[in-house]
Structure 1
Amino acid sequence: MHLTPLHLRGGRTLSGDVAIQPSKNAALPIIVASLLSSEPVTLHGVARLSDVYTILDLAHHVGARHAWVGPHSLTLHTPEIVSTVAPYSLVSKMRASFIILGAILARAGEATVSMPGGCAWGPRPVDQHVKALRALGAEISEDGGNFSAARRGSLGGTFLFELLTVGGTHNAILASVLGDGVVTLENASIDTDVVDLINFLNSLGAQIEGAGTNTLTIRGVPALRGGEYKIIPDRIEAGTFMIAAAATRSRLTLTNVRPDHLRAVSAKLGEMGVDILESQDRLIVDARDRELRPVNITTQSFPGFPTDVQPQMSALLATVPGTSVVQDPVYPDRLTHVAELQRMGANITVSGYTQVIQGGELHAAPVKAADLRAGAALFIAALTTEGETVIDGVQYLNRGYERLAERLRSIGANAWQPQPVLANAMD
Structure 2
Amino acid sequence: MLNDSPITIVGGRQLHGEIAINASKNAALPVIAAALLTAEPVTLHGVPRLSDVYILLDVMAALGTHHTWVGANSLRLHTPAVTCVIAPDELVGKMRATFLVMGALLARQGEAVVAPPGGCTFSQRPVDQHLKAFRAMGAEVRVDGGAYHATLRGSASGSVVFDLLTVGGTQNAMLAAVLGDGDVTIDNASIDTDVMCLADFLNSLGAVIEGAGTHTIRIEGVPALRGGDFRIIPDRIEAGTFLAIAAATRSRLTLTNVIPSHLRAVTGKLRDMGAVILETGDVIMIDARDELRAVNVTTSEYPAFPTDVQPQFSALLATVGGTSVVVDRIYPGRTTHVAQLHRMGARAELMGETQIIHGGPLQGTTVQATNIRDGAALVIAALAAEGESTIEGTVYLNRGYERLVDRLRAVGADIRQCGEQAALPFAVAME
TM-score tier, shorter chain, comes to over 0.9
1:378 aligned counterpart, secondary structure: helix
1:285 matched to 2:283: no
1:99 aligned counterpart, secondary structure: helix
8 Å CA contact 1:185, 1:216 repeated in 2: yes
Alignment partner, residue 348 of structure 2: 348
Question: For the residues of structure 2 that align with 1:394 and 1:387, how far apart are their CA atoms?
Answer: 20
2:107 aligned counterpart, secondary structure: helix
Q: CA deviation at 1:99?
A: 1.1
Question: For the residues of structure 1 that align with 2:169 and 2:210, how far apart are their CA atoms?
Answer: 17
Alignment partner, residue 194 of structure 1: 195
Question: For the residues of structure 2 that align with 1:398 and 1:50, how far apart are their CA atoms?
Answer: 6
- 1:16-31 aligned within 5 A: 16-31=17-32
1:373 matched to 2:370: no
- Aligned-residue CA RMSD (Å): 1.1
Q: Deviations over 1:2-24 (max 9, x none)?
A: 83201111111011000001100
The one-letter code of the counterpart of 1:50 is S
- 1:255-266 aligned within 5 A: 255-266=256-267
Q: Deviations over 1:195-251 (max 9, x none)?
A: 000000000000000011010000000000000000100000000000100011100
1:196 aligned counterpart, secondary structure: helix
Alignment partner, residue 166 of structure 2: 165
1:74 aligned counterpart, secondary structure: strand
8 Å CA contact 1:259, 1:281 repeated in 2: yes
8 Å CA contact 1:332, 1:352 repeated in 2: no
Alignment partner, residue 85 of structure 1: 86
8 Å CA contact 1:329, 1:353 repeated in 2: no
Question: For the residues of structure 2 that align with 1:47 and 1:385, how far apart are their CA atoms?
Answer: 29
Alignment partner, residue 424 of structure 1: none
Question: For the residues of structure 1 that align with 2:8 and 2:57, how far apart are their CA atoms?
Answer: 30
Alignment partner, residue 5 of structure 2: 4
Q: CA deviation at 1:420?
A: 7.7
Question: For the residues of structure 2 that align with 1:112 and 1:34, how far apart are their CA atoms?
Answer: 18
Alignment partner, residue 407 of structure 1: 407
8 Å CA contact 2:4, 2:398 repeated in 1: no
Q: Deviations over 1:227-277 (max 9, x none)?
A: 000010000000000010001110000000000000000000000000110
1:18 aligned counterpart, secondary structure: strand
2:16 aligned counterpart, secondary structure: coil
1:332 aligned counterpart, secondary structure: coil
4+ residue segments displaced more than 4 Å: none
1:194 aligned counterpart, secondary structure: helix
- 1:4-403 aligned within 5 A: 4-288=5-289, 290-403=290-403
User: TM-score normalised to the size of structure 2?
Assistant: 0.96
The one-letter code of the counterpart of 1:184 is T
The one-letter code of the counterpart of 1:296 is N
Question: For the residues of structure 2 that align with 1:419 and 1:296, how far apart are their CA atoms?
Answer: 40
Q: Deviations over 1:289-336 (max 9, x none)?
A: x11111111101100000000000000000111110000020111111
The one-letter code of the counterpart of 1:315 is A
Question: For the residues of structure 1 that align with 2:195 and 2:55, how far apart are their CA atoms?
Answer: 20
8 Å CA contact 2:184, 2:218 repeated in 1: yes
Question: For the residues of structure 2 that align with 1:398 and 1:18, how far apart are their CA atoms?
Answer: 18
8 Å CA contact 1:3, 1:420 repeated in 2: no
Farther off after superposition, 178-187 or 345-354: 345-354
8 Å CA contact 1:6, 1:390 repeated in 2: yes
1:376 aligned counterpart, secondary structure: helix
1:85 aligned counterpart, secondary structure: coil
The one-letter code of the counterpart of 2:282 is D
8 Å CA contact 1:312, 1:374 repeated in 2: yes
| Percent of residue pairs identical | 62
Question: For the residues of structure 2 that align with 1:182 and 1:352, how far apart are their CA atoms?
Answer: 44
Q: Compared with structure 1, are the counterparts of its residues 358 and 220 closer, same or farther at alpha carbon in structure 2 (3 Å cutoff)?
A: same
8 Å CA contact 1:13, 1:249 repeated in 2: yes
Q: Deviations over 1:84-122 (max 9, x none)?
A: 001210100101111110001111110000000000213
2:395 aligned counterpart, secondary structure: helix
Alignment partner, residue 425 of structure 1: none
Structure 1: 5+ residue stretches without partners: 422-427
2:186 aligned counterpart, secondary structure: strand
The one-letter code of the counterpart of 2:401 is Y
Farther off after superposition, 405-414 or 345-354: 345-354
Farther off after superposition, 116-125 or 404-413: 116-125
Question: For the residues of structure 1 that align with 2:270 and 2:96, how far apart are their CA atoms?
Answer: 30
Question: For the residues of structure 1 that align with 2:103 and 2:128, how far apart are their CA atoms?
Answer: 14
Q: CA deviation at 1:386?
A: 2.1
Structure 2: 5+ residue stretches without partners: 422-431
Question: For the residues of structure 2 that align with 1:82 and 1:157, how far apart are their CA atoms?
Answer: 28
